[in-house]
A and B are shown apart, each in its own frame.
Chain A
């Protein structure tokens, strides 16, 4: 139930917000208050940003691999790899699925870092 009341409540509130700033002062200062509620330890910030950059480069390599394959070894993309599907389709769908998996990994580690930092606080 809370799920639905939250939808409705939020929508109304969202709307006022939008109306308040339709033509002026986009997105401040209302949003700032919402977000500055949780102060983050610098070490967590650093860990998260390092992880983000790393995962970004991993994905970049995979993505660039697809583009490079297209430009330099186009014929390879037509090879049938699995269930009658060619490499282009498998790689393409793979890139989409991989993005989701990377997102889940990122979330898992970020949550872990944040939890670890909070535990450290309460000790």
Chain B
């Protein structure tokens, strides 16, 4: 995508990010003794805490990822919203209260509360580290995507920028994700999404989206003369060559010295050439966008409806629509999505994005990404089940999610906060459906990355809305990244070096080790963020959820609900959970594609590991607890 920098957007963006960061620092500098903490315990209003809870939870994955996934794969993106929210049920009904009774608030501490075993400390700190890193990857990818249209910087620069800011903050002062900052972020994100949704509905659906000053590009269609050997001639264009890639035919044409690729398909029974978007990587390193250099700005945003049907009649545009009408009209209409393929043309590497007309009825059903119809393969069905399992069980097992549950005084307030959080997050997720679909039909999609769907949609409605939404999203990413880096450096410095290796560091050294660990984790996160560019962030978060569900949840559930659980069972289950889920992820088609070996050659076709790794971890905790039962000494240690 080629982005123009908008000065207005940039100014608003800086003001907003500055405001959030400033607040964070301002409160961070005020120091006093910890006794005031006790006095304030319970001072916080449960409603503030509830929205702050939502602010904690709604990371880049929710806002950028889900909207983006809905925009390119329709209902399949909404599966993430359903699963992310369902996870809260596990957290609220099964985990939160028993945890509180154990008097422990992190997984490591809770798991170890009955045993005080070094093996558990080691296993739990490794799992915290790995889950945090897998959660960091999508945040970094999202950060890079966000910075591109705002500052006109390439993706890698955005990733480094975020990484550097966060490392600087964490290593110098330590950025707190305070209740107030999270409250502000969570509240703003929900309000802005509501505003965006109102814009979408007011705008309605149109065959030619975009405003008068800024119309969206109309994609051309040509009628070729086709002979048995292929396209013979096209009016006004010179036919250069023809290629077939995975059953799709692409034709290279030339006009006014510019070479373009067209997709040969049929429309109303006649052969038709449809305009595609291409990025050509020349052997000499030159990059051509739609056959021209970058400065010509001949690369477009995509996504529109090719046919709108209201009450059985075809219309040009609908005008303002209600929420149900919006969803049902899309269901009846035809959506044009742009799919990607790659081809080699002589020495040129060509990335082609070609239009594919998808019936709205299909778009509003699961199946475009996770194929689950009758004709779907067993692998893709398993993949779907696996994803839903990971999302359901992952939330409660993420190291950083439950903490806020324990920051209000009474159990009643904790519960009320959580329920408000569920309502706020649930409401937000319903809005993602509208924002995602809105992005899909309003000609705003960036073909190179789906993650910017919601902010780019906001851009179509105005620079200010765009910059404010981007700023909130960016602040969210910063906060989440900072929190995760602190969590993982804590796992290294506190759990691993101090407790496991029994180094007995003094406080100064502990902080020093922690900071070094934070810098290393931060740099690692930057590198991974660059490596995973272009992959949808929700998809990546799905992995973090799967690892969390496999490594932590079986152990914690057995500890809470099965008296015979032993320390060996717990540590073995964490290890098996991590190893099996990691092994499946690292051999998955997406990774195979990243290694450059081609997704179709992967060792298996399962994208999400939870379906295998979770039961395996459950089995492990059971078998090992039976083989190596609880030692009685533990009671003494606990006392």
Task: Give the B-binding residues of A (Cβ under 8 A).
Answer: 2-3, 6-20, 22-28, 30-38, 40, 45, 48-49, 52-53, 55-56, 59, 63, 66-67, 70-71, 74-75, 77-78, 83-86, 88-89, 92-93, 95-97, 99-100, 102-104, 106-107, 110-111, 114
| Chain B contacts for A23, CB-based, 8 A | 174, 486, 489-490, 493-494, 510-511, 513-515, 518
Contact B327 A77, beta carbon cutoff 8 Å: no
Task: Give the A-binding residues of B (Cβ under 8 A).
Answer: 27-28, 30-32, 34, 36-45, 48, 75, 78-79, 81-82, 85-86, 88-90, 92-94, 97-98, 100-101, 103-106, 109, 174, 176-181, 183, 324-325, 327-329, 331-332, 361, 364-367, 372-374, 376, 381, 384-385, 388, 392, 403, 406-407, 409-412, 415-416, 418-419, 422-423, 426, 429-430, 433, 486-487, 489-490, 493-494, 498, 507, 510-511, 513-515, 518
Contact B367 A86, beta carbon cutoff 8 Å: no
CA distance A37 to B177 in the complex (A): 25
Contact B45 A22, beta carbon cutoff 8 Å: no
Q: Determine the residue in chain A with the shortest Cβ distance to B86.
A: A63
Beyond A53-B94, A107-B415, is A33–B41 a contact (Cβ under 8 Å)? yes
Contact B179 A7, beta carbon cutoff 8 Å: yes
| Chain A contacts for B376, CB-based, 8 A | 74
Q: Determine the residue in chain A with the shortest Cβ distance to B128.
A: A26
Contact B429 A96, beta carbon cutoff 8 Å: yes
Beyond A14-B176, A71-B384, is A24–B493 a contact (Cβ under 8 Å)? yes
Instruction: Name the prevailing secondary structure of the B interface residues.
Output: helix
Q: Name B27's contact: one of A12, A31, A35, A104 (CB within 8 Å).
A: A12
Contact B403 A7, beta carbon cutoff 8 Å: no
Contact A49 B30, beta carbon cutoff 8 Å: no
Contact B419 A15, beta carbon cutoff 8 Å: no
Smallest Cβ distance from B456 to chain A, in angstroms? 24
Q: Name A27's contact: one of B32, B365, B403, B426 (CB within 8 Å).
A: B403
| Chain A contacts for B361, CB-based, 8 A | 78, 86
Smallest Cβ distance from B95 to chain A, in angstroms? 9
Contact A70 B384, beta carbon cutoff 8 Å: yes
Contact B365 A77, beta carbon cutoff 8 Å: yes
Contact B34 A49, beta carbon cutoff 8 Å: no
Beyond A48-B97, A71-B372, A103-B418, is A86–B178 a contact (Cβ under 8 Å)? no
Contact A74 B373, beta carbon cutoff 8 Å: yes
Q: Which interface residue of B94, B384, B407 has the most chain A CB atoms within 10 A?
A: B407
Q: Determine the residue in chain A with the shortest Cβ distance to B389.
A: A67
Contact A16 B31, beta carbon cutoff 8 Å: yes
Instruction: Name the prevailing secondary structure of the A interface residues.
Output: helix
Q: Name A99's contact: one of B32, B42, B75, B86 (CB within 8 Å).
A: B86
| Chain A contacts for B78, CB-based, 8 A | 89, 92
Q: Determine the residue in chain A with the shortest Cβ distance to B325.
A: A84
Beyond A88-B366, A103-B418, is A71–B381 a contact (Cβ under 8 Å)? yes
Contact B176 A84, beta carbon cutoff 8 Å: no
| Chain A contacts for B37, CB-based, 8 A | 13, 16-17, 30
Q: List 19 A-B contacts (CB under 8 A).
A: A6-B48, A9-B40, A13-B36, A15-B30, A22-B174, A24-B494, A27-B105, A28-B105, A30-B38, A36-B103, A52-B92, A53-B93, A63-B392, A75-B373, A86-B361, A96-B426, A100-B419, A106-B92, A107-B415
Q: Name A49's contact: one of B98, B174, B180 (CB within 8 Å).
A: B98
Beyond A13-B40, A16-B30, A85-B328, is A38–B411 a contact (Cβ under 8 Å)? yes
Q: Name A96's contact: one of B85, B97, B494 (CB within 8 Å).
A: B85
Smallest Cβ distance from B259 to chain A, in angstroms? 42
Smallest Cβ distance from A40 to chain B, in angstroms? 7
| Chain A contacts for B411, CB-based, 8 A | 38, 40, 110, 114
Contact B327 A49, beta carbon cutoff 8 Å: no
Q: Determine the residue in chain B with the shortest Cβ distance to A94.
A: B82
Q: Name A16's contact: one of B36, B90, B180, B419 (CB within 8 Å).
A: B36
Contact A30 B34, beta carbon cutoff 8 Å: yes
| Chain B contacts for A45, CB-based, 8 A | 97, 101
Contact A93 B430, beta carbon cutoff 8 Å: yes
Q: Which interface residue of A9, A20, A67, A104 has the most chain B CB atoms within 10 A?
A: A67
Contact B82 A95, beta carbon cutoff 8 Å: yes
Contact B30 A20, beta carbon cutoff 8 Å: no
| Chain A contacts for B75, CB-based, 8 A | 88-89, 92
CA distance A55 to B392 in the complex (A): 15
Contact B426 A99, beta carbon cutoff 8 Å: yes
| Chain B contacts for A36, CB-based, 8 A | 103
Contact A26 B106, beta carbon cutoff 8 Å: yes
Contact B419 A107, beta carbon cutoff 8 Å: yes
Beyond A84-B324, A84-B327, is A110–B34 a contact (Cβ under 8 Å)? no
| Chain B contacts for A89, CB-based, 8 A | 75, 78, 327, 364, 433
Smallest Cβ distance from A106 to chain B, in angstroms? 7
Q: Determine the residue in chain A with the shortest Cβ distance to B422.
A: A103
Beyond A10-B179, A84-B327, is A20–B34 a contact (Cβ under 8 Å)? yes
CA distance A15 to B407 in the complex (A): 12
Q: Name B178's contact: one of A2, A15, A25, A77 (CB within 8 Å).
A: A15
| Chain A contacts for B179, CB-based, 8 A | 7, 10-11, 14
Q: Determine the residue in chain B with the shortest Cβ distance to A66.
A: B82
Beyond A22-B174, A71-B384, is A31–B44 a contact (Cβ under 8 Å)? no
Q: Determine the residue in chain B with the shortest Cβ distance to A55.
A: B93
Contact A96 B430, beta carbon cutoff 8 Å: yes
Q: Name A92's contact: one of B82, B329, B514 (CB within 8 Å).
A: B82
Contact A19 B174, beta carbon cutoff 8 Å: yes
